[in-house]
Structure 1
Amino acid sequence: MEHTYPVETGNLLSLQAEHDLAMLEYGTVATSSSTRLPSNTDSADIDPEAYLQWTHVKNELVWLIRSATPIVISSTSQLLIMVPLLAAVGRLGTVALASMNLAGLYAGLCGVTPLAGIAMALDTFCSQSFTATKDKRILGVLLQRALLIGLAIMTLIYPLWWYSKYVFEMFGVPEEVAEVTGRLLRIYFFGIALLISYEFLRSFLFAQGIRKFALIAQSIGLAVGWTLTWLLVGNPSTSVGIIGVAFVVLGVAGTFSAVTIFYIAKVDGYQCWGGWSRAALRDWMPLLKLSVAGAIVSFLETLSVSSIDLASMFMGAQTMAAQAVLSMLMTSTWVMGTGFSVAACNRVGNHLGSGLPNRAKLAVLAATLLSAIAFGALALVFICYRTSLPYIFSEDGEVIEILATHIPWAAIAGAMQGINMALNGVLRGQGRQKMIAQIRFLSFVLVGVPVSVLAIFVFKWMLAGLWLGLVVCLATVLAIQINVIMTTDWAKEVIACQKRVTATVNTSHEVDAVLDNGENAEPLL
């Protein structure tokens, strides 16, 4: 096991008198004399004049690298599944490649987007509650609420997936592409549902400082993904065509979830489960509010890239096929950025829950610096190999030429998006999803869209014009987020965190009775 619960320590920093932070016992919030910290949180704050010293910065960078690396590696394994899958589908023809790209676009807007907001909210509540409350089993109640909310939303949106063919036809998608994508999405939906459930489980475990499970789950999922890709898509004698993509996603997502549940039940993380609780059936509103803001963020992030995918459908089959590859390159940044985002969110949330504002500021500095180095290097790799990468995904000369020209745009956009995701994690750790949504909306509507329109209709840049709009949009987001974080009053954020956790625990009137009564708690497996 990589994680144990340390003994109780008196560690909450006494803030300045004007903030007058009151720490309460569980039933509200843990007192300074009874708060137990996870193993990834230091026991005392740093002097506000000394937190920028290189010793502190170095230690925080080392922690962030050790914490984010398993998440990045595990998330990258999804990319290692998608690359051969995309290559295999590319051999099935332009229609198959376009259908896969359209399915991914639709899944992002009509599946991942409304559900990802719940995972973002769960990151905030779990990371803050784990260090702010005495009884850690409140995390199990939060996880159950997230799963129930997710189930309700999935039930409501499935008709949009079943009849997606008619949605595509309304938007003028070629009939053959609409037909193939519609059939694909009817099965693809269940893979996305399992994948989101896995994200909820990850939030539950990451908040506790448990990360080893991700490497195990993703390694097994990678083997399953490669095997299914070869059997169902790549091998001519066993291939079921483009529909095999849905079964690959379903098999991989199911593996992720099953392995993670087994890990919680038999290895680690069960300490915060506490059994099924009736408290999970009530008091959804705090989680829902952050979930809505998170869903808006996810929607705008997806839309900023998906708008290029949508517009490319009217620029010819070759352009649409090339854009499928460019989207995959952006997805690689998104996947890697998840590691930095989750690590930063949990680090900041843990520190705020423990009442350590200066350590939270230090975590922000480390996350920004490390993400800038990592994603800047990734962008350089894409740019340097822009003429050779296209041959991996297509044999069409026109598609290869389009890719060689536009990969630098995707590389620059990806670097900025990666840094933005790390900063998103910082803001989520504070519970400021609404702020992220406002920044994304204003940057996309007031900056990104006008720049794209100008570039396309005035300069006639076409696909490059669409990418220019995205680059300028992401640069605007980056500038605003940096300004917001630099002007944050971290002592006030500690107070806001304590109030949020207090409200969460106090509104669950049944939690004490259910969780403190061992015979009423059902085992996980």
Structure 2
Amino acid sequence: MDDHRTSTSHETSPLLSSPSTATLGDQILIDDETNVSRAVLIKQELAWLVSSSIPLALSYFCQSSFAFVSMLNVGRLGVNELAAASLSVMIINFVVMMPCVGLACALETFCSTAFTASRDKTRVGFHMQRGLVAVTLQLVPTVLLFVYMDSILQSIGQTEEVATLCGEFLRVWLLGSWPLVAFECLKRFVQAQGIMQAGTWVMAAVAPIHFLMSHMLVWSDSIGIGFAGAPLATAITNWLLFLGLTAYIACSKAKEAWGGFTLDCLDGIWEFYRLAIPSAAMMSCSWSAFEMVTFGSSMFGPVSLAAQACIFSAMSLTYQTPAAIGSAAATRVGNSLGCGKQRRARFSAYISMCMGYAVGMTCSLMLFLNRYRWGYMYSDVEEVVTLCSELMPYFAAVQTYDGMNGLVAGILRALGKQSLGAILAFPSFWVLAVPIAFYLGMGPPHLEVIGLWLGLAVGVILYSLAQQCYILFYIDWRHEVKVCLDRLARSTKSLDPAQFTIAVCGDSDGGLYSTPVTRTNSNSNSSVDDYGALA
């Protein structure tokens, strides 16, 4: 028992067990943990998911609060400023965050599996380098687009004042664009190792600085620059986040999974893009539908756009906890599959979904009860506040399913099923939701912003239920263990069984695994602790 503990003392993930000592030809790898009862397994996974989701949720809330604070400061400048800031955030999300975060999310597939399935932990850093390359290349065309964005907006009918302010916002924001997307890659690098608190510590340190800068750069008589102060504060904050997380990695055990820069990450990078592109497409299809609602709202005037900004800020805040649960579930499911624990992976997925519904319904109720107060947080204009209160019930009704989409997407990423998410998202949002939304908002019903939200609700609910049904009824979890290790081997250009903590066997189909497969722990006296780690 003591020897076993010594051999695993360097691991940081609470899931990891020691590698099996089996050799090629042994039939190992799926460990159903039959000695662990269902009740104990549920208790362990619930405890792990809750304890991991809390720091992630706090870091997500801090990150979303940056835009929230910026909107509060800008909103007091006037309706046009609030409308321009809202439109700018929509463009940033559409052009930068959707594709780049989508690309970075593919790391949740590769890094979490590599950390438990590979003997060489630096494979986690190897995959992270691929993510950095991908997001950096994605940013290149953004620069030219943002430089001429004010002219583009005027050409499609936006008012000159809002377009000019929007162009100014975007050009200043570009100064902090790369560190933001690099930060997204670094977050997934540490989370794959089970280090969930890293982002929280960095966010907690940076948040007060951002709040102070946002106010001073907009309103201070000595250093304030007005509207442009909001994106400048955000750019500085993005650099602080990147540098802070980099420093955390350099001073923690997370650096053991780094391995240094190498051009070898470019060799076989298509295997990364094979999942990263569907991951970006999955996120873009759903996220862009929400941004189209913002764009449609701008067609009804500054008041509608300002009210939409208030609702989207609420959406950003309430989305964070389900997204955090999804991110924790992605790590847990990926780690579990990587070390052959298909039963634990399945329970983690199901329990996280139950948690998502509990959180979502609570948030929806709170938003509905406070619908008449929410608008006053952003604007003193009575028209904006009134329209915000009218929109809030529709958003509250759809908010639970929106949060579940973010949560379930994490599970699909752990399984490498990004292409399925993209396939389901496109018809849900762009065949049904967007056309229905614009018909109800701008067509004969003339429901304006309310019509846009009704149409959007169709896509959100349909997409959410379709993904959940697939996970609940169609996933073969035993088979997913084989699939994830096969994917890891292809991505590293190696089929050498020595690369894995769990032995692999050739089969008649040319794959890596023989069937039936089982896993046994080399230490017959091992037990399971409260968080599912083999002790």
d(CA) in 2 for partners of 1:360, 1:383: 35
Identify the match of residue 489 of structure 1 among 456, 470, 476. Answer: 476
Residue number in structure 2 paired with 1:227: 212
Checking the alignment, whether the CA contact within 8 Å between 1:89 and 1:234 is kept in structure 2 is no
The correspondence of residues 116-135 of structure 1 with structure 2, limited to 5 A, is 116-135=101-120
d(CA) in 2 for partners of 1:150, 1:80: 23
1:105 aligns with 2:90: yes
1:459 is matched by which residue type in structure 2?
P
- For normalisation by structure 2, the TM-score amounts to 0.86
CA offset at residue 439 of structure 1?
A: 0.8
SS of equivalent residue, structure 2 residue 416: coil
Identify the match of residue 198 of structure 1 among 183, 191, 199. Answer: 183
- Cα offsets for 1:276-311 (capped at 9, x unmatched): 223123221011121111111221122121111111
1:474 aligns with 2:460: yes
Residue number in structure 2 paired with 1:310: 295
Distance 1:131 1:464, change over 3 A: same
Residue number in structure 2 paired with 1:346: 331
Checking the alignment, whether the CA contact within 8 Å between 1:23 and 1:498 is kept in structure 2 is no
d(CA) in 1 for partners of 2:147, 2:23: 50
Checking the alignment, whether the CA contact within 8 Å between 1:128 and 1:353 is kept in structure 2 is yes
CA offset at residue 3 of structure 1?
A: 6.1
Distance 1:326 1:75, change over 3 A: same
Identify the match of residue 175 of structure 1 among 150, 160, 165. Answer: 160
SS of equivalent residue, structure 1 residue 506: coil
Checking the alignment, whether the CA contact within 8 Å between 2:122 and 2:256 is kept in structure 1 is yes
1:414 aligns with 2:423: no
CA offset at residue 153 of structure 1?
A: 1.9
Identify the match of residue 281 of structure 2 among 296, 299, 303. Answer: 296
d(CA) in 2 for partners of 1:196, 1:334: 19
CA offset at residue 258 of structure 1?
A: 0.7
CA offset at residue 184 of structure 1?
A: 1.5
Distance 1:412 1:192, change over 3 A: farther
- For normalisation by structure 1, the TM-score amounts to 0.87
d(CA) in 1 for partners of 2:27, 2:221: 64
Distance 1:2 1:473, change over 3 A: farther
Residue number in structure 2 paired with 1:38: none
CA offset at residue 460 of structure 1?
A: 2.6
Residue number in structure 2 paired with 1:521: none
Residue number in structure 1 paired with 2:487: 500
Identify the match of residue 362 of structure 1 among 327, 335, 347. Answer: 347
d(CA) in 2 for partners of 1:3, 1:216: 21
Distance 1:106 1:24, change over 3 A: farther
SS of equivalent residue, structure 1 residue 333: helix
CA offset at residue 249 of structure 1?
A: 1.1
Distance 1:220 1:425, change over 3 A: same
CA offset at residue 5 of structure 1?
A: 7.0
1:437 aligns with 2:445: no
Distance 1:11 1:455, change over 3 A: farther
2:452 is matched by which residue type in structure 1?
L
Checking the alignment, whether the CA contact within 8 Å between 1:300 and 1:441 is kept in structure 2 is yes
1:9 is matched by which residue type in structure 2?
S
Distance 1:376 1:259, change over 3 A: same
Choose between structure 1 and 2 for higher RCO, CA contacts under 8 A separated by at least 6 residues. 2
Residue number in structure 2 paired with 1:515: none
Checking the alignment, whether the CA contact within 8 Å between 1:117 and 1:290 is kept in structure 2 is no
d(CA) in 1 for partners of 2:13, 2:196: 15
CA offset at residue 356 of structure 1?
A: 1.3
2:185 is matched by which residue type in structure 1?
F
Alpha-carbon RMSD? 2.6
Unaligned runs of 5+ in 1: 13-21, 26-30, 36-42, 513-525
Residue number in structure 1 paired with 2:125: 140
d(CA) in 2 for partners of 1:186, 1:507: 44
Distance 1:24 1:351, change over 3 A: farther
d(CA) in 1 for partners of 2:73, 2:164: 20
Residue number in structure 1 paired with 2:12: 4
SS of equivalent residue, structure 2 residue 493: helix
Distance 1:287 1:10, change over 3 A: closer
CA offset at residue 506 of structure 1?
A: 2.2
CA offset at residue 8 of structure 1?
A: 6.0
Residue number in structure 1 paired with 2:192: 207
- Cα offsets for 1:114-155 (capped at 9, x unmatched): 211221111110011111111110111111121122222212
Checking the alignment, whether the CA contact within 8 Å between 2:322 and 2:359 is kept in structure 1 is no
2:488 is matched by which residue type in structure 1?
V
CA offset at residue 112 of structure 1?
A: 1.0
Residue number in structure 2 paired with 1:335: 320
CA offset at residue 499 of structure 1?
A: 0.6
2:47 is matched by which residue type in structure 1?
V
Checking the alignment, whether the CA contact within 8 Å between 2:268 and 2:493 is kept in structure 1 is no
1:501 is matched by which residue type in structure 2?
L
Unaligned runs of 5+ in 2: 1-8, 500-535
Checking the alignment, whether the CA contact within 8 Å between 1:10 and 1:32 is kept in structure 2 is no
Checking the alignment, whether the CA contact within 8 Å between 2:371 and 2:389 is kept in structure 1 is yes
SS of equivalent residue, structure 2 residue 294: helix
Distance 1:66 1:482, change over 3 A: same
CA offset at residue 469 of structure 1?
A: 1.1
Checking the alignment, whether the CA contact within 8 Å between 1:112 and 1:192 is kept in structure 2 is no
1:500 is matched by which residue type in structure 2?
R
The correspondence of residues 251-270 of structure 1 with structure 2, limited to 5 A, is 251-270=236-255
Checking the alignment, whether the CA contact within 8 Å between 2:285 and 2:430 is kept in structure 1 is no
Residue number in structure 1 paired with 2:145: 160
CA offset at residue 2 of structure 1?
A: 11
Residue number in structure 2 paired with 1:250: 235
SS of equivalent residue, structure 1 residue 238: coil
Checking the alignment, whether the CA contact within 8 Å between 1:348 and 1:364 is kept in structure 2 is yes
1:497 is matched by which residue type in structure 2?
C
d(CA) in 2 for partners of 1:322, 1:507: 54
Count of residues in correspondence between the two structures = 487
Distance 1:88 1:23, change over 3 A: farther
CA offset at residue 508 of structure 1?
A: 11
1:476 is matched by which residue type in structure 2?
L
CA offset at residue 196 of structure 1?
A: 1.2
Distance 1:32 1:389, change over 3 A: farther
d(CA) in 2 for partners of 1:74, 1:97: 25
1:45 is matched by which residue type in structure 2?
D
Residue number in structure 1 paired with 2:513: none
Checking the alignment, whether the CA contact within 8 Å between 1:107 and 1:189 is kept in structure 2 is no
Q: Which runs of 4+ in 1 moved over 4 A?
A: 5-8, 22-25
SS of equivalent residue, structure 2 residue 77: coil
CA offset at residue 357 of structure 1?
A: 1.2
